[in-house]
Structure 1
Amino acid sequence: MSVSVKCPQCEKKVEWKKENKFRPFCSERCKMIDLGAWANEEHSIPGNPSFDDLMSADIDPETCH
């Protein structure tokens, strides 16, 4: 059975198989475009910034490795 997904970048159908080293992307180009968008903070994972800042104050940098 073959499973197909849409490339998150260009929405081209892509077979989900081990041989496709760029999955879920259709190509290295689409993969790099997506990576660039994350690096430019065009994508984000929703969170609670005030809670995250509050919790990070509890982290002791001396014990984090």
Structure 2
Amino acid sequence: MRCPICKKEVAFDNPEMPFCSERCRLIDLGNWATEKYVISTPLRSTDFLEEDERGPERPEGPEE
């Protein structure tokens, strides 16, 4: 696996996994804190429910 920040190989037993180092982990955290990363779709209250509590999947769009 490669570090998402610097692209170096990361050992699976590395305690900073999936990052190669604390430095890369902190860079990633900073990217979230400064809003360089965003969630691409708006969250809905049902996004926080367990799968079995959601009920059947329905397509997005106007109801008929």
- The TM-score bracket by the shorter chain reads 0.5 to 0.7
In terms of fraction of residues, the more strand-rich structure is 1
> Structure 2 CA distance, aligned partners of 1:10 and 1:29?
10
Task: Name stretches of at least 5 consecutive residues in structure 1 with no aligned partner.
Answer: 56-65
**Deviation sequence 1:32-59 (CA, Å, 0-9, x none):** 000000000000111137xx5xx6xxxx
Give the share of equivalent positions with the same residue, in percent: 47
If the length of structure 2 is used for normalisation, what is the TM-score? 0.62
> Structure 1 CA distance, aligned partners of 2:36 and 2:24?
15
Q: Among 26, 29, 39, which residue is 1:35 paired with?
A: 29
Name the structure 2 match of 1:14: 10
If the length of structure 1 is used for normalisation, what is the TM-score? 0.61
Task: Name stretches of at least 5 consecutive residues in structure 2 with no aligned partner.
Answer: 46-64
RMSD, aligned α-carbons: 1.5
Name the structure 2 match of 1:24: 18
